[in-house]
Structure 1
């Protein structure tokens, strides 16, 4: 049964074209119309002039609420999804980390089932085709050179739901893998890499179109050795991921990204792990022990920074408060920009015909109310 039609009134709605002040009508799980003046007859829900945003879209997230997507446990994954949904993240791409060939196939197959159900918007493979010296929170013993035959097996197991894969361009076979991914409709991202500027440009020319969590786990920016950071910031074809928890990237460095790429190319992500929503303690990520202290996650054995423990509205809030980004631009960087980067054209947008995934923000830019497919959550 479809949710009862409802019209949200007195809204400041973030749309692809700008800010719409008026009402948003929802019917049959989709946005029916936007307008001004008197709302249509029927159920009315007054949001009292608050911001109404599209449901946020996290395209790089590994878990939350005590579960990690690499565990390939359907019920645990649903808890992660439900927790994020309650916070305003209505669409997620389930992120995997480096694993053995057998485990990766099992994980991809399990997440594909959740995609078939509509619970996940796709599958993201952050490993294993990444550089050992920039492995971050990935087990270096599980990393390997790009292999198109192995990638093809993942595609088969994923049944059309594999959305993105991160590749280090300097590895043998990387450009061939990037071309294969692009021709298969999978977004290739550059990350966890020691690539030079020239090697990174070659990857973008081969079809890569995303930079995985810029700055983190990649060759640093140098004035005579600009590396992947400069290559990504200077290429209008590339969406630039940014983990804006103010732990992974200093606000001053994040400001450089926003100023250089513009909010239309900045894709806010969380890279969140299973500890998100639970607090400090010791957890695991891809088999590695991770300790969370003060919300900061680090690999126990190496001290390397691991995933974040935020949900996406916190990144939006940080962009507004610490970088001076407007609320509409910050919202788009957490909705339509990541959705567009991964070809999820109907997500992250408030317009007639789109799914009725909406987020009402309070004065602190946290989730006051969340609508998913036309029904309020919680």
Structure 2
């Protein structure tokens, strides 16, 4: 039995006490006002990540994917999706197949395709050469490989609603993003089964009082809204606004990190496009578009709290809500008895001290 003491962050509260772990599971959370000053939060769940530590998920290289997952694990992310970017079908197929052993080992929670079924008008840092309309045939073949957890689609594209319905039937999360959709098109996609908004505000038609667009459509729905809390994708005031509008049960912190996370400034590649990282900000060299981030989830948590979001809400947004987005909240994402013993120990300034995954210290 292992006891981890401190201020335990649970839904809606911070409770002094101990998390008691036996094997890979939490067996009990015991209140104790003398337990110490460390802050204990659930292990982070990042549902949108392209790489980190000089390693990428986007090329289908299994060892690179293992390295990226290890980098983010060292920053408290105990569950991560491998997010690809827009690419030819063959790369998507081969990457999904290559990642099956990592999914079986639990290194990855699955694969997320951010593209290629995206809007050319809102493609952001996605490679326009690979964009295409949603294909039921492609998705059917990819889903058959196993491990596909989420697909981002622009709902206004031809075939999008059929693709979303297919994903829903197969238990795959359909996310709406990189989209020029109207409010009505967004609502139709939500009715068809979409359940997540990909990095809300970014790569989306902006809200207008006569055409609310996808942002308002998503915020006013039951969908979970991804938020990149790096103070670059979103101003802290906008982060707080979106988090409070959606509530902690529908707002999910993500990194959208690329391989440059944790690495020096310089030149990198994302989906066959050159990215220049300067002062930690990643932008395409060809047009200056923001190209993912260099964020880690522990920093995202600190930024959310600095923006005025309470620590319990920020921890829920970093773990509990994204776990629910993937249908994993019955196994992980909170400090509750019976769930997997994934947690991060922080100091009083929310700086990371230790990480536990499945009952093992990293």
Q: What is the TM-score of this pair, normalised by structure 2? A: 0.97
| Cα distance in 1, alignment partners of residues 71 and 341 from structure 2 | 19
Residue 220 of structure 2 corresponds to 234
| Cα distance in 2, alignment partners of residues 270 and 52 from structure 1 | 20
Deviation for aligned residue 1:48? 2.4
For the Cα contact (< 8 Å) 2:12–2:313, is it kept in 1?
A: no
Deviation for aligned residue 1:255? 2.5
Q: Does 1:104 align with 2:99?
A: no
For the Cα contact (< 8 Å) 2:150–2:175, is it kept in 1?
A: yes
User: Equivalent of 2:144, from 156, 163, 187?
Assistant: 156
RMSD after superposition: 1.4
Q: How many residues are aligned here?
A: 361
| Cα distance in 2, alignment partners of residues 351 and 85 from structure 1 | 20
| Cα distance in 1, alignment partners of residues 202 and 160 from structure 2 | 20
| Cα distance in 2, alignment partners of residues 251 and 35 from structure 1 | 35
User: Equivalent of 1:115, from 103, 115, 140?
Assistant: 103
Residue 22 of structure 1 corresponds to 17
Deviation for aligned residue 1:18? 3.4
Deviation for aligned residue 1:364? 2.2
Residue 220 of structure 1 corresponds to 206
| Cα distance in 2, alignment partners of residues 350 and 288 from structure 1 | 41
Q: Does 1:57 align with 2:45?
A: yes
Structure 1: 4+ residue segments shifted above 6 A: none
| Cα distance in 2, alignment partners of residues 152 and 302 from structure 1 | 34
Residue 79 of structure 1 corresponds to 67
| Cα distance in 2, alignment partners of residues 364 and 76 from structure 1 | 32
Structure 1, 226-235 or 256-265: larger mean CA deviation: 256-265
Residue 338 of structure 2 corresponds to 353
For the Cα contact (< 8 Å) 2:177–2:204, is it kept in 1?
A: yes
Structure 1, 240-249 or 362-371: larger mean CA deviation: 362-371
| Cα distance in 2, alignment partners of residues 374 and 169 from structure 1 | 41
Deviations 1:137-194 (A, max 9, x none): 111110110111100111112x2x1111011010000000000001110010110000
SS at match of 2:214: helix
Deviations 1:201-251 (A, max 9, x none): 00001100100001101101111111001101111x110100010101112
Deviation for aligned residue 1:313? 1.2
User: Equivalent of 1:291, from 263, 271, 276?
Assistant: 276
Matches within 5 A, 1:1-378: 5-9=1-5, 11-16=6-11, 18-37=13-32, 48-157=36-145, 159=146, 161-235=147-221, 237-322=222-307, 324-345=308-329, 346-377=331-362
For structure 1, the 5+ residue unaligned runs are 39-45
For structure 2, the 5+ residue unaligned runs are none
SS at match of 2:282: strand
Deviation for aligned residue 1:299? 0.6
| Cα distance in 2, alignment partners of residues 233 and 278 from structure 1 | 34
| Cα distance in 2, alignment partners of residues 310 and 148 from structure 1 | 33
Q: What is the TM-score of this pair, normalised by structure 1? A: 0.93
